[in-house]
Amino acid sequence: MLSEDYKVWDEGTLAKFNENKNTNSISKKIISNTEIETIQTSVGLDISKYQQAKNILAKYFTDEGKIIKHKISPSRSTILSDLKSANESINEFNNEMIKHNTNLITSLKKIRQFKSIRTNNIAWL
């Protein structure tokens, strides 16, 4: 029964992140993303939460998104705690991205509105 339990764990829970099981591997996308540094450089966004999640996932998954087999397997509670922490870090990063994008959109709307008002005022002259 214990071996079946591990099978469910390895082929079920962890497989959700494993490139061998899914073609849309979450871990692979996060670990192998090279565009994140471009975002940091071009817009100055803090990527520390993203890097934190990436470092956690790198403990369990390769760059290709495959599960790393450890000689001494970490406990499930450790893995789940780490994955929860990675998820929270990604959520915080996503919230910062949304906030940044919302600020950009708001700024563009104000510029557009200002230009529209200015154009209308010129038309009245």
pLDDT tens figures, 14-53: 666 665 554 447 888 899 888 888 888 888 889 999 999 9
- The SS3 call for residue 67 is strand
pLDDT at 63: 85
Domain boundaries, the chain: 2-90
The answer to whether the predicted template modeling score (pTM) of the entire model surpasses 0.75 is no
The partner residues of 94 in beta bridges, in order of sequence, read none
Q: In 10 A of CB 67, how many CB atoms?
A: 17
- The SS3 call for residue 61 is strand
- Residue 106 token pair: 């708001």
Residue 68, CA distances (Å) to 14, 30, 59, 60, 75 in order: 11, 16, 8, 5, 14
